[in-house]
Amino acid sequence: MSTNGTLRGVGATIPGRVDWVDYAKGICIVMVVMMHSTLGVEAAAGQHGFMHLVVAFAKPFRMPDFFLISGLFLARVIDRDWRTYLDRKVVHFAYFYVLWVAIQFAFKAPSFAAEQGWAHVGYLYLESFIEPFGTLWFIYLLPIFFVVTKATRRIPALAIWGAAAALEMSHLSTGWTVIDEFAARFVYFYSGYLFAANVFALADRARSRPAMALLALAAWAVIDAVLVYVGASEWPLISLLLGFAGACAIITTGTLLARARWLDGLRYCGEHSITIYLAFFLPMAATRTLLLKTHLITDIGAISLIVTAVGVIGALLIWWSVRNTRFNFLFERPDAFWIAPRKLRPALQPAE
């Protein structure tokens, strides 16, 4: 990374989007939808399918890679004044969190009320502002990571990284999502920020030596699968190493796909990963209910795979259907919810 904040990687200055980053984010968001879809189907059906193995394989690196990439470009904006920084990195995600919590509650409130009454629904809604609701915990936690990283810049970076690594290895379990997930994930976000130049160097090496990259991916896949199978993937230190190894593997995979220009749909998903993250719950839940109640398909693994695909595609269809309409506020932050000076921003900012 150059001193002026311009990212350099893949052999050239990066003025805008980076192809392998979008591929890697696409892989991550599909894995996230896959996890929620598969576990939801299996919980409802009371049995496991073949997709359970895929979800288990991805568990050590699914979220570490997402958070590492989220911190990758932070050096470009961390020097902004606090007002602008908070607008881009806190208010932005807070707007979408509050909006989509309300949307999710609108769909889930009747079932909550049937179980424990409407008073409990109100309690759950208020609780969602201190205990992230459902699938939305990722965008609740990101602003906290952004603020902590900027606020601790005067502290030696390696000290921060060492403390973050120790937190991950502690496997803290308080029962509070923000505390536990901060401890488990901050080291990866901070590593994306701190070691961005190394990450781009890894992508450059993978692009220039694809055969060696494929061999490394094969070795990693075997090691990850074995450690998951024997139950060692969540041991202290092992979990940290697998998180970083898996993140490097996804980055390498994304680079190779970008180099070959294969699976362009993954890149598109990566470009709109937060959009998918916000909206996938609705097509996912509807498809799961339909397939399990109609028994059109009986194989649990196949149902999980279909629900995953519909979750991703359905979220994109929802976004496409509201673009350039009065409902575009679902995925674009309106002018009224900006706190940065007007001259520093466009009228709307998309969920990305």
pLDDT band at 114 (very low <50, low <70, confident <90, very high): confident
Tell me, yes or no, whether 242 lies in a domain.
yes
CB 267 within 8 A of CB 22: yes
Q: Is 3 inside any structural domain?
A: no
Q: Flag whether 171 is in a domain.
A: yes
Give the model's pLDDT for residue 274. Answer: 95
Average pLDDT over residues 122-150: 95
* Per-residue confidence band for 15, with pLDDT thresholds at 50, 70 and 90: very low
Q: Write down the mean pLDDT value for the chain.
A: 92
The yes-or-no verdict on residue 5 having pLDDT over 60 is no
Backbone angles phi, psi at 345, to 5 degrees: -150, 160
**Amino acid identity of 318?**
I
Within a domain: 313: yes
- Residue with more model confidence, 253 or 4: 253
> What are the beta bridge partners of residue 12?
9
Q: Is residue 2 part of a domain?
A: no
Q: What is the pLDDT of residue 115?
A: 87
Start-to-end CA distance of the chain, whole Å, equals 23
Residue-wise pLDDT tens digits, 172-199: 999 999 999 999 999 999 999 999 999 9
b/e per residue, 114-153, with b = 16+ CB within 10 A? eeeeeeebeebeeebeeebbebbbbbbbbbbbbeebbeee
Q: Which pLDDT does position 7 carry in this prediction? A: 32
| Residue 52 domain flag | yes
pLDDT at site 352: 58
* Rounded distance between C-alpha atoms, residue 29 and residue 20, angstroms: 14
Range of the domain at 257: 8-350
pLDDT tops 80 at residue 2 = no
Assigned domain for 100 exists: yes
Q: What 3 state SS string does the chain have?
A: CCCCCCCEECCEECCCCCHHHHHHHHHHHHHHHHHHHHHHHHHHHCCCCCHHHHHHHHCCCHHHHHHHHHCCCHHHCCCCCHHHHHHHHHHHHHHHHHHHHHHHHHHHHHHHHHHHCHHHHHHHHHHCCCCCCHHHHHHHHHHHHHHHHHHCCCCCHHHHHHHHHHHHHHCCCCCCHHHHHHHHHHHHHHHHHHCHHHHHHHHHHHHHCHHHHHHHHHHHHHHHHHHHHCCCCCCCCHHHHHHHHHHHHHHHHHHHHHHHCCCHHHHHHHHCHHHHHHHCHHHHHHHHHHHHHHCCCCCHHHHHHHHHHHHHHHHHHHHHHHCCCCCHHHCEECHHHCCCCHHHCCCCEECC
Question: How many CB atoms are closer than 10 A to CB 188?
Answer: 26
Of all residues in the chain, what percent carry a pLDDT higher than 70?
92
- Give the mean pLDDT of 152-167: 97
pLDDT at 313 exceeding the cut of 60: yes
**How would residue 17 be classed by pLDDT, with cut points 50, 70 and 90?**
confident
Axis crossing angle, helix 62-70 with helix 238-260, rounded to the nearest 10: 70
Q: How confident is the model at residue 349 (pLDDT cuts 50, 70, 90)?
A: very low
The answer to whether 96 and 274 have CB atoms below 8 angstroms apart is: yes
Tell me how many domains the chain contains: 1
* Token output for 309: 């695909």
Q: Is the pLDDT of residue 11 over 70?
A: no
Q: At what angle do helices 238-260 and 19-45 cross, to 10 degrees?
A: 120
Q: Mind spelling out the 3-state secondary structure of 207-247? A: HHCHHHHHHHHHHHHHHHHHHHHCCCCCCCCHHHHHHHHHH
Structural domain contains residue 1 = no
The whole-angstrom separation of Cα 64 and Cα 69 is 9
Token reading at 104:
């999710």
